[in-house]
Structure 1
Amino acid sequence: MANGNSATLTRRYNRTVVLDALRRHGSLSRIELARLSGLTPQGIRNIIEDLIDTGLVRETGRRRGQRGQPQIDIEISPGAGYCLGLHVAAGACHAIATDLAGNVLARPEARALGGDHGQQLDALGAIAREVASAADGLSRLGTGVVVSRPLASRWSATGGLAAAQADFAKPFEALFASTPLVFENDANAAAMAEYTHGRAKGRGDFLYLFLGEGVGGAIVQGGVPVHGGRGNAGEFGHMLIDPKGPKCHCGNRGCLHGSLALDGLRRLLPAGAPLAPETVPQSWLDGAASALSRALVSLENIFDPQAIVLGGTAPAWLLHRLVEKMGDPGPSVRSDMAEARVEVSGLGQSCALIGAAALPLLALTSPDPATLMKEPLVEQAAD
């Protein structure tokens, strides 16, 4: 792809500024967009005209009940295309396709993702064809791929992959790299689902605590996940809660993981018993709630977030029981706030998959100053 000149890159960046404002606010007039973006009214008119021509935004009609010439509202067009989300966990690939409003267009059955490169291509190709058929002619605007493990570095098809992950990425690149392709871990993806569709909508600075077979998390600042020097920021599961506690697989003792992870809880259940409200030992619940309380106070004092969201692949009833048992975590920089100290996600156990589909939408609508100095974004959508 040829490098764009400065005018081209600036125009692309300004388009994402406008799309970001519309995604955050739902609908805005041209005057409001100019005020929020800092762009000139003429610049906004040109950008909106371009975005209407491409089908990404639409006019929704004039406002009523105002003096003078009523303003015309602009919004992102849900039917401008679809975003594909893929979550690879336990050797299977789960998929979902949503329009730009988050409405589910397709959710194929999970397919095994094993074997050689050709077998993986066959499995992913079957998913792509089923989704394309359900999308009924809409263009794919991007694909998000989520994995259930920490990443050695931030993944993106345009930013380069860690050597250890290159083979895994090859079939995805072969099929989906014609439009933005973003790789992420499950905790960051779940946090982005909360940011676009859940408890953290409208909050640019929040923490996400991911509870599943393991314990992870995400740090979101300015609406963007913090990845850290090696891509592993947000590993809240390895916060030291009790130096005399059991040894963790990381080598330390008393990590939060040992108190909250579902893999440890399952080992305490009677043989053959399912994870259910009546099978959870009270001793585990007491210890888990205490550990969660200590972790939350530390996280609040370190990050002072707007919100902390508790979610993951753990069942919602368990998350609510933990929060209820925890009660008041104790004093911190946020303890005098009227709102809840921790909020349970409402997105359910598919939060990472929902986040996978949100990743390309965020890539399309999130202003990144770095784009002013590198190759332009792909504009052509693939079917």
Structure 2
Amino acid sequence: MGVVEAFRTAFGADPETVWHAPGRVNLIGEHTDYNDGFVLPFAVPWGVTAAVSPRGDRTIRLRSLQSPSAEPVTIARHEDAEGWTRYVVGVFAMLGDQVPGADIVVDGDVPQGAGLSSSAALEVSVAGALNDLHGLGMSPMEVALLSQRAENDFVGMPCGIMDQAASALCQEGTALFLDCRSLGSRTIPLDLAAHGLRILIIDTQVHHEHAGGEYAKRRAECESAARKLGVAALRDVTDLAGALDRLRGDERRRTMHVVTENHRVEALVGLLRAGAITEIGALLNASHLSLRDQYEVSSPELDVAVEAALRGGARGARMTGGGFGGSAIALVAEDRLDSVKESVAAAYAERSWKAPRFLPAVPGPGARRLGSS
């Protein structure tokens, strides 16, 4: 059942607007966004579609096609939201009196648990629809910022701006180079096919339960290190050797990763702009080693995926996303795709792990209106 038909079945009328927002994969720049640094994500072909009509009261009625129940969830008070509905209701909470309630049906095809940011896609699709319906005049970046506040302040996840910005701003065939402090951005061509290359997402199908708490811990460690160094954020460290001399333990390691990862983002952007996409593999490899050893957010499943992909002939590979499971990405020549997949699958089988899932990563468009009744 399509989202419009499901809306008609649930609410007895066609939706007034339908919006789609994609998930994302990050080419490079991990755990730099909440340190005011640089990131380079692109939108994936999968996302969340929201069919929406406004109501005359403050009630929000929600149905997800991924939910086993065909009955909408009715939320009269924001604080009554639970589970996935918090991401939607959080958007309403951030808009306050600017919007009334709404009837909403959502349908998503972002692979669950793969670290491709289905939550940001859900937030941005709903925020885009409400912006459209009520003529709020928000720019794509303002939609992203509103969605981030919903996740930070309502859901309680202290994420940076990357996921929502990628969902709202990305363009087809490009990556988004984003300065997470100034919020300045520009699109960077990512024409993989022209160079006979693919980016392969390797979904480990594993997500460790401590990921949320560890994410918040890493962010607190970075903020503590910045205070000790007398800078607003680790992005501002210009003398890395001097900074490392003043720090110890985890804070020292986190600082090393953030500062060097920002340099890797800028270097990779330079290679892409020069048309040297075939040369970016070493930067992907270095990013993974830093995330594994300095930021300590990898997992055995991610490490094995990266190592096996490289043995199978990938030009470069790294974990992507928050870590502790989720996905890795590999830069692969088209004629080595099968070899890389076979190498990773064999490495998982040797360990009696659940078989990984392989997904093609084609840079797609950002959030957009699909139509209305």
**Shorter chain as normaliser: what TM range?**
under 0.3
* Structure in which a larger fraction of residues adopt strand: 2
* Structure in which a larger fraction of residues adopt helix: 2
TM-score computed with the length of structure 1 as normaliser: 0.27
TM-score computed with the length of structure 2 as normaliser: 0.28
Using CA pairs below 8 Å that are at least 6 residues apart, which structure has the higher relative contact order?
Answer: 2
Higher-Rg member (1/2): 1
